[in-house]
Chains A and B, each alone.
Chain A
Amino acid sequence: GDSVTQMEGPVTLSEEAFLTINCTYTATGYPSLFWYVQYPGEGLQLLLKATKADDKGSNKGFEATYRKETTSFHLEKGSVQVSDSAVYFCALMKGDNFNKFYFGSGTKLNVKP
């Protein structure tokens, strides 16, 4: 069935380091892909999305490119800040249906000053 696999955390980086959080998916057809972020004590919020192959989603310095050939949607940021410490969730959606929306298990990022 359809699913999303994320790299296990936690990921610990120093401030200004380069970030990559890997996400791969299994799905037939052309799903839409998302990254959600959960800051400490808060609910999840949408960070970025891409709806077709080769699309790049970007927001707050984060980027992810929809790669159909490798079924991946890796999250990247060139220079992380302490304020980026959070849990990051990759997700996919097939069609306009809540039952076709799948979250990954989340990757915790810790950024040290």
Chain B
Amino acid sequence: NAGVTQTPKFQVLKTGQSMTLQCAQDMNHEYMSWYRQDPGMGLRLIHYSVGAGITDQGEVPNGYNVSRSTTEDFPLRLLSAAPSQTSVYFCASSRDGPYEQYFGPGTRLTVT
């Protein structure tokens, strides 16, 4: 099993550009989530999904969209990138809610 995969590993965007961070899992987990990590701070929840077709907002959802059309995939869309979105983004999946989450290796995004 590949576990949770994220692409790309690194990305540089200009202010105002849009892009999609990809996340996929092959463990048939119902739950998936997106976090961002900023220096000196813990991971903060952006959006999460409790199953295909169901998503909800986390602590910091503004500027991001998600959808969950399949169990395996949970892409994160930045609609109009801003420098404040410079961060490391982690995707995670789990079988039983937030108890034991499996994380991908992260995407490092820089917005100039």
Spell out A's residues near B (CB within 8 Å).
Answer: 4, 32, 36, 38, 41-46, 49, 89, 91, 93, 96-106
Contacts and interface: CB of A to CB of B under 8 A. Distances in A.
Nearest to A43: B103
A98 B33 contact: yes
Contacts of A43: 3-4, 90, 92, 102-106
Contact of B45 (A38, A99, A104): A99
A101 B100 CA distance: 11
Given A43-B90, A99-B58, 6 more contacts: A45-B103, A46-B100, A97-B98, A98-B48, A98-B56, A105-B41
B76 to A, nearest CB: 15
A99 B45 CA distance: 7
A42 B3 CA distance: 11
30 contacts: A32-B99, A36-B103, A38-B103, A41-B105, A42-B105, A43-B3, A43-B92, A43-B105, A44-B90, A44-B103, A45-B103, A49-B99, A89-B42, A93-B98, A93-B99, A96-B97, A96-B98, A97-B97, A97-B98, A98-B45, A98-B58, A98-B98, A99-B45, A99-B58, A99-B59, A101-B45, A102-B42, A103-B42, A103-B43, A103-B44
Interface in B24-41: 31, 33, 35, 40-41
Nearest to A98: B48
B43 A89 contact: yes
Contacts of B3: 43
A45 B48 contact: no
Contact of B42 (A4, A32, A100): A4
